[in-house]
C-alpha cells in the first residue's frame, strides 16, 4: 500500500480550514433591519400612489384597448351579417316575384287555351302618362311575330289592340281610349252595344235602347263582330244606369274587367291567317 504524500495532506488540511471558516462566518453574520428615515417614509408615501396609479392606468388602458378591438371586430361582424341578410332578403324577394309572375303567366295561358290564335306573352314596359294610361307599350314587336290590329288580353279580360309596332316594341290602344270602340253583348240578356273609353279608368256602354232589361252588375263580353276581337272575351261590368229625359238610349257606366293600374303582363293574340300589313319599322 502506498503512503499518502505530503502534497495531498496539505490539500486536505487547506480544504478543511476553508470550510470551517465559511461555516463560522455565516454563523457569526449579524442581519440588521434598519428603520426607514422620515425622509424615506415621506418619499415612499408620495411616490407609491403615483406608482399605483400608473400601474392601474396601464391595466385600464390595456383593458380599454382590448374592449375597443372587440367592439371593432363585433361591428365588422355585424356589418357583414347585415350585408348577408340584405342579400338573402333580396334573393327571397326575387324568388317571390318570380313565383308571382309564373302564377300570372300560368293564369294567362290557361285563360287563352280555348283561343285558336297564336299567343305571344309580353311585359308592359311603358304607358302614355299624359293620356291617362290609355296607351301602353309592350316589349315585343314584329321580330317576335306581333302584328298590327292584333287583340291584347289578360286573364282578367280585354286590354285593347296593337295599333303600332316596331321590330322590338308595340303600342296598345286600350279600351279606355275613346278611339277604341268595342262591340259587346250583355252576357245575361245578349243585348248588343258599343263600349267606349271615357275618363278615370272607366268606360261607357252606348247605343243600348231604353226598353232593354240591362241591370247593374251585368257582365259584358266581346261580340266577335268587326274582325278585331274574338267572341266571348270579358270586357267589363255595368256599374250605373241612367235614363235621359229625352232620347232612345240609356246612359250606362262600365268598369273594365282589367285592372289597368296593376297591369304587368299581357297576351297578344295573333291571327296567322290574317295578311301581314301595317307594321311600322
What are 48-66's pLDDT values in tens digits?
A: 666 666 666 666 677 777 6
User: What integer best gives the mean pLDDT of the chain?
Assistant: 77
Are the beta carbons of 269 and 129 closer than 8 angstroms?
Answer: no
CA dist., res. 242 & res. 254, Å (int): 12
**Cα–Cα separations (whole angstroms), residue 18 to 9, 30, 68, 100, 196:** 15, 20, 64, 106, 134
Q: Count CB-CB contacts under 10 A for residue 137.
A: 17
Are the beta carbons of 108 and 154 closer than 8 angstroms?
Answer: yes
Q: Count CB-CB contacts under 10 A for residue 200.
A: 6
The reported pTM is 0.60
What are 227-280's pLDDT values in tens digits?
A: 889 889 999 999 999 877 677 889 999 999 999 988 888 999 998 766 555 444
Q: Is the pLDDT of residue 19 over 90?
A: no
Judged by DSSP in three states, 140 sits in: coil
Q: Is the dihedral of CA 70, 72, 73, 78 positive or negative?
A: positive
Q: What are phi and psi of 230, to 5 degrees?
A: -65, 160
Are the beta carbons of 122 and 159 closer than 8 angstroms?
Answer: no
**Cα–Cα separations (whole angstroms), residue 53 to 40, 62, 65:** 20, 14, 18
CB burial string 64-77: b at 16+ within 10 A, e below: eeeeeeeeeeeeee
CA dist., res. 102 & res. 264, Å (int): 12
Amino acid at each position: 500500500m502506498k503512503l499518502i504524500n505530503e502534497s495531498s495532506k496539505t490539500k486536505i488540511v487547506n480544504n478543511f480550514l476553508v470550510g470551517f471558516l465559511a461555516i463560522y462566518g455565516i454563523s457569526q453574520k449579524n442581519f440588521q433591519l434598519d428603520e426607514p428615515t422620515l425622509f424615506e417614509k415621506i418619499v415612499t408615501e408620495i411616490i407609491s400612489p403615483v406608482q399605483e396609479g400608473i400601474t392601474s392606468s396601464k391595466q385600464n388602458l390595456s383593458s380599454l384597448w382590448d374592449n375597443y378591438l372587440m367592439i371593432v371586430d363585433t361591428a365588422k361582424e355585424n356589418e357583414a351579417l347585415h350585408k348577408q341578410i340584405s342579400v338573402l332578403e333580396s334573393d327571397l324577394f326575387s324568388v317571390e316575384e318570380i313565383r308571382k309572375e309564373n302564377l300570372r303567366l300560368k293564369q294567362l295561358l290557361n285563360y287563352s287555351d280555348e283561343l285558336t290564335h297564336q299567343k305571344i306573352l309580353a311585359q308592359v314596359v311603358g304607358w302614355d302618362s299624359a293620356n291617362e294610361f290609355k296607351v301602353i307599350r309592350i316589349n315585343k314587336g314584329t321580330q317576335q311575330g306581333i302584328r298590327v290590329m292584333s287583340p291584347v288580353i289578360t286573364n282578367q279580360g280585354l286590354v285593347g289592340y296593337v295599333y303600332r309596332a316596331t321590330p322590338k316594341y308595340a303600342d296598345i290602344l286600350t279600351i279606355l281610349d275613346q278611339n277604341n270602340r268595342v262591340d259587346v253583348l250583355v252576357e245575361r240578356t245578349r243585348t248588343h252595344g258599343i263600349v267606349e273609353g271615357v275618363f278615370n279608368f272607366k268606360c261607357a256602354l252606348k247605343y243600348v235602347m231604353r226598353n232593354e232589361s240591362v241591370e247593374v252588375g251585368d257582365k259584358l263580353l266581346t261580340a266577335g263582330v268587326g274582325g278585331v276581337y274574338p267572341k266571348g272575351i270579358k270586357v267589363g261590368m255595368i256599374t250605373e244606369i241612367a235614363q235621359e229625359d229625352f232620347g232612345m238610349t240609356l246612359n250606362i257606366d262600365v268598369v273594365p274587367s282589367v285592372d289597368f293600374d296593376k297591369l304587368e303582363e299581357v297576351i297578344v293574340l295573333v291571327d296567322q291567317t290574317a295578311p301581314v300589313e301595317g307594321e311600322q319599322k
